[in-house]
A and B are shown apart, each in its own frame.
Chain A
Amino acid sequence: MAAITSRLARARVRLARRRTWWLAGLVLVALVYPYVVRPYQLSLAIEVLIFAIFAMSLDILLGYTGLVSFGHAAFFGLGAYLVAYTTLGVTNNLLVTLPVVVAGTALAALVAGFFAIRTSGIYFLMVTLAFAQMLFSIAIRWSSVTGGSDGLSGVARPAIGLGPLSYTFDSRTSFYYLVLAFFIFSWWFLRRVVDSPFGWALRGIRENEQRMLALGYNTFRYKMAAFVIAGVFAGVAGMLLTQFFRHAAPENLYWTTSGQVMIMLIVGGTGTLTGPVLGAAVIRLLPNYLSTYTDRWQTVLGLTFILFVLFAPRGIMGLWERFRQRGENREHSAD
């Protein structure tokens, strides 16, 4: 028995070391990136990183806890409008705007979650969808506050610091590093949450909620926690996007945005945290290349999505797993 655990322990250490090298390499590339690419590609990278955060947040909810929300754009858009409103009205200082976004989206998640999570499966899906649409319709109509269908423009780039010691992330490159920092933090934080006992509890709820209850888990609380975490990170992503484009739009709350992030998740692979990052890259870059050939990129996106749903429901990560399994099997049969 000691042999089993130590064999496992050694394998884990090996895997961890390999992974650390990979990650270090990626971080290095990411740090050098702005200096080796054109501005347009830098913008693309910023978008991909922002949507990666958005997609990872949905993965916590959908991939790990099994809560299928089709209205995740609600928090994304809420973050967008909160930062726009605060920046235009008060300050662009992150020390103010970030807590506003976090607190605002957390509160909204608590309220929405309180109603949504008492419902199960199908109803949950529809309640979350309706909640997002409700926010959208408020954004469109409450023009005095939200700017109506035009949204809020002229949002300044964020600054950080106090008094004389403040730095504004004005240039594209500096903003890139800000987003990169947020991304790395989000990745690190969500990874830890997912690997923790709490994260395992979420998986347990996804796999068999009834059994979790029989084991003594108050699953309502866990689902609420997942909902709030997911909402907050989505809100932060929305904040970053608004600061990048200097504009908050109702589209940020619209179902097509919920749809887009859902597609990223499915294409990348749910329940993996890496999948959504890959998915964000694919789904953000694809329309860019496609739009030079056709206006129908939403159709192509939808078709890609359907193809994955039908033939590769576990996404790119799933395909990668299958590919690796086949490689291993071939190795074993060769011995």
Chain B
Amino acid sequence: MAVNNVSIAVEAGERRAIIGPNGAGKTTFFNLLSGELRPLSGHIFLDEREITPLPPHQRARLGIGRTFQRNNLFLGLTVYENIQLAVQQRLGLASRWLRPARTFEDLDREVVGLATTLGLEGRLFEPAGSLSYGEQRQLEIALALAMRPRVLLLDEPTAGMSPAETAKMVQMIAGLPRDVTLLIIEHDMDVVFSLADRITVLHYGQVIADGVPEEVKGNPKVLEVYLGEA
């Protein structure tokens, strides 16, 4: 089983890192949270409210946003249009069907603003497919942020990035408002230790450690799992 008997409680506003060797079930865990996968047993609660039976789009409406491990963008559309899709949904404009999208000024302003925050304003009208890998990763985050989520699931946000790009990403994530709860899957330990309030370690689909960074760093089980793998 990819995820077996995992029980996690995350506080509002917390920054929780989910780490573990490859195949530990981290992305599967995210898929369960965002609704892409249904659990065979168990419950998921958001703010005391059970969301287990809800499909992905309703969980997104309740404020669960996510990025994907492999870029999951609208490659044929421009950066602007990608972000527009995310923002128009949040602004409740998505079902407006007789006015051209470009006439909604707050939509336009917010799209451009978000793109600028993520350093993408120079590529606004390029197709997402033509962006560099790092820029696509940033666009991934932009889409998730556009939803103004209460809980943000970041799946390996710095994967494949150069040290400079990683540093920028970490800075951006650290700068996110504290009322957004973050769950971050990461392999880069520097990133984990600079961002996380608490760390949960998964191995073969089970939780083997859970605590503040200092505790986890010194946990013999964790060391064995990581060093043993090497």
Contact = CB atoms under 8 A, between A and B. Distances in A.
28 contacts: A4-B124, A5-B108, A192-B99, A195-B101, A196-B100, A196-B101, A197-B88, A197-B93, A197-B95, A197-B104, A197-B107, A200-B85, A201-B94, A201-B95, A203-B77, A204-B85, A207-B75, A210-B36, A211-B72, A213-B56, A214-B34, A214-B57, A214-B72, A215-B60, A215-B143, A215-B146, A217-B94, A218-B57
Contact of B147 (A193, A216, A219): A216
Contact of B72 (A4, A200, A208): A208
A283 B217 CA distance: 70
A213 B89 contact: no
Most chain B C-beta atoms within 10 Å of own C-beta, residue among A5, A196, A197, A210: A197
Contact of A207 (B76, B93, B143): B76
Nearest to A8: B125
Interface in A145-183: none
A143 B201 CA distance: 71
A50 B185 CA distance: 55
Most chain B C-beta atoms within 10 Å of own C-beta, residue among A199, A201, A203, A218: A201
A195 B100 contact: yes
B147 A215 contact: yes
Given A5-B112, A203-B74, 20 more contacts: A1-B121, A192-B97, A192-B99, A195-B100, A196-B100, A197-B84, A200-B101, A204-B77, A204-B85, A212-B57, A213-B56, A213-B60, A214-B57, A214-B65, A215-B85, A216-B58, A216-B60, A216-B147, A217-B94, A218-B57
A12 interface: yes
Interface in B72-96: 72-77, 81, 84-86, 88-90, 93-96
B74 A204 contact: yes
Nearest to A220: B57
A187 B147 CA distance: 33
Interface in A35-85: none
B86 A215 contact: yes
B84 A200 contact: yes
Nearest to B109: A5
Contacts of B107: 197
Interface residues of B, number: 45
A88 to B, nearest CB: 35
B116 interface: yes
A196 B121 contact: no
Interface of B: 34, 36, 55-58, 60-61, 65-66, 68, 72-77, 81, 84-86, 88-90, 93-102, 104, 107-108, 112, 116, 121, 124-125, 143, 146-147
A198 B112 contact: no
A4 B95 contact: no
A203 B88 CA distance: 13
User: 3 smallest A-B Cβ distances: which pairs?
Assistant: A216-B60, A198-B97, A195-B100
Contact of B102 (A12, A193, A212, A214): A12
Contacts of B73: 208, 211
Contacts of A193: 97-98
Given A195-B101, A196-B98, A4 B121 contact: yes
A207 B121 CA distance: 22
A217 B92 CA distance: 10
A203 B128 CA distance: 14
B89 A216 contact: yes
Nearest to A206: B76
A225 B95 CA distance: 10
Interface in A1-57: 1, 4-5, 8, 12
A214 B86 CA distance: 10
Contacts of B88: 197, 200-201
Nearest to A191: B100
A1 B56 CA distance: 35
B96 A198 contact: yes
Nearest to B66: A214
Nearest to B77: A207
Contacts of B93: 197
Given A201-B85, A203-B77, A217-B94, A196 B99 contact: yes
Contacts of A197: 84, 88, 93-97, 99, 101, 104, 107
Contacts of B112: 1, 4-5
B99 A214 contact: no
Nearest to A192: B98
A208 B81 CA distance: 13
Contacts of B34: 214
A210 B60 CA distance: 12
A200 B146 CA distance: 16
Nearest to B55: A213
